[in-house]
Amino acid sequence: MNWIPKIHFEISERKVLLRLFDVVFIFLMLALVSGFFEFDYFYLSTTRWTWALLLIGYYFIFAAIFELYDLQKAASFQSTLKSGVLAISSTVLFFILTPFFSPVLPENRLQIVFFFMAMVTGLLIWRYAYISLVSAPRFNKRILLVGNSFDINLIAENLHKADPNYRVIGFVNTDNIKASGFDRRLKSIEVGELIKSIKRYSVSEIVVSSTSKGVSVELYNQLIKLLEEGFPIREYTQVYEEITHRVPVQHVERDFYKYFPFSRSNKNRFYLFISGFFNAFFAVVVLALTLVLLPLIVLGNLIANPGPLIYRQKRVGMNGKVFEILKFRTMVVDAEADGAQYAQKKDRRITPFGKILRNTRLDEIPQCINILKGDMSLIGPRPERPVFVKKLSEEIPFYEIRHVVKPGLTGWAQVRGRYAESVDDTLEKLQYDLYYIKHRSFFLDLNILLKTISTVIYYRGQ
Q: Please, what are the domains in the chain?
A: 11-134 (no CATH), 140-244 (3.40.50.11060), 264-457 (no CATH)
String of b and e for 387-398 (b: at least 16 CB within 10 Å)?
A: ebbebbbeebeb
Give the C-alpha separation, 207 to 299, whole Å: 57
The pTM (predicted TM-score) of the whole model is 0.81
Give the C-alpha separation, 283 to 95, whole Å: 28
Closest-CA residue to 367 (of 432, 311, 449): 311
Find residue 171's DSSP bridge partners: 145, 188
Q: What is the pLDDT, as a whole number, of residue 181?
A: 64
Give the C-alpha separation, 140 to 162, whole Å: 13
Phi-psi region of 131 (alpha: psi -120 to 50; beta: other; left: phi over 0): alpha
Closest-CA residue to 212 (of 174, 156, 255): 174
Give the C-alpha separation, 392 to 387, whole Å: 9
For the beta carbon of residue 266, count every other beta carbon within 10 angstroms. Answer: 13
Residue 423 host element (H or E):
helix 423-439
Give the C-alpha separation, 114 to 294, whole Å: 41
Q: Return the SS3 of 391.
A: helix
Q: Are the C-beta atoms of residues 434 and 404 closer than 8 Å to each other?
A: no
Find residue 311's DSSP bridge partners: 327
H runs (alpha helix) in 305-406:
352-359, 367-373, 386-395
Closest-CA residue to 114 (of 165, 42, 172): 42
Pairing of strands 166-173, 141-147: parallel
Residue 207 host element (H or E):
strand 205-208
Q: What is the pLDDT, as a whole number, of residue 284?
A: 96
30 Cβ contact list (under 8 Å, min separation 6) = 42, 115, 118, 119, 122
The span from the first CA to the last CA of the chain, in angstroms, equals 52
pLDDT in tens, the chain (462 residues): 444 445 667 777 888 999 999 999 999 999 898 888 878 777 776 667 788 899 999 999 999 999 899 888 888 899 999 999 999 999 999 998 887 788 878 778 888 889 999 999 999 999 999 998 887 766 778 888 887 766 777 778 777 777 767 788 888 888 766 656 667 778 888 888 888 888 888 888 888 886 656 677 888 888 898 888 888 888 888 888 888 888 887 666 555 555 456 667 777 889 999 999 999 999 999 999 999 989 999 999 888 888 889 999 999 999 999 999 999 998 888 777 666 666 666 677 888 888 888 888 889 999 999 999 999 999 999 999 999 899 888 888 788 889 999 999 999 998 887 766 677 788 889 889 999 998 899 999 999 999 888 877 776 655
H runs (alpha helix) in 66-135:
71-74, 77-96, 110-129
